[in-house]
Amino acid sequence: MPDLTLSFIISQIAMTIAMGFDFLSLQYKKREYTFLCLIVSASFISAHYFLLGKVAAGVIVFISVLRFITCYFTTNKKYLFIFIALNTISLFFTYKNSTDLIIYIGLIVFIIGNFQEDNKLMRKLMMGGTSIIVLYNAIIFSPMGVIAEGSFLISGFIGYYRHYVKNNKKIKKSQII
């Protein structure tokens, strides 16, 4: 268990703020609104990791801010490969232990999701990547990281249900009548 230092407490506060924006992000169907929330959220999450001394995670998530700005404007696959390369290079220079690979893998899945034109597929991949990031936060003992990313995952399920499952049931029901 880490000492309750000021940096630990501030990191948990940053993650709490990020949690609100994370939750909101997947409640919007319009991808631009989703990415605006993710830009703010990733900024706080990056600060959270830096405050915990997790440099690799902090750098990789900071790159996410740039990725979300890019995704706001485009789904062009060339940027997908650029951001995978940036994450790989940053991991190469910041790698300290095997747990750094966990967040790297989670974010690669997340990145692939970000550049999907199909909003349904984007959400599924983002939820898959988030599941891996929840595991990472549990391993590094970031209680608010687990709660925030868990909240993001739940928001993903709720948003997916609201936008695709529930609406699909209404369409099928109206076709029967």
Q: Say if 139 falls within a structural domain.
A: yes
Overall domain count for the chain? 1
Q: Say if 176 falls within a structural domain.
A: no
Q: How far apart are the first and last CA of the chain?
A: 59
Q: Say if 177 falls within a structural domain.
A: no
- Domain hosting 47: range is 6-171
Q: Say if 113 falls within a structural domain.
A: yes
* pTM (2 d.p.): 0.83
pLDDT bin (cut points 50, 70, 90) of residue 4 is confident
- Residue 148 near residue 16, CB atoms below 8 Å: yes
The number of helix segments (H) and strand segments (E) in the chain equals 8, 0
pLDDT tens digit sequence for 72-86: 999 999 999 999 999
Q: Say if 26 falls within a structural domain.
A: yes
pLDDT tens digit sequence for 92-137: 998 989 999 999 999 999 999 999 999 999 999 999 999 999 999 8
Q: Say if 107 falls within a structural domain.
A: yes
Does the pLDDT value for residue 172 go beyond 70?
no
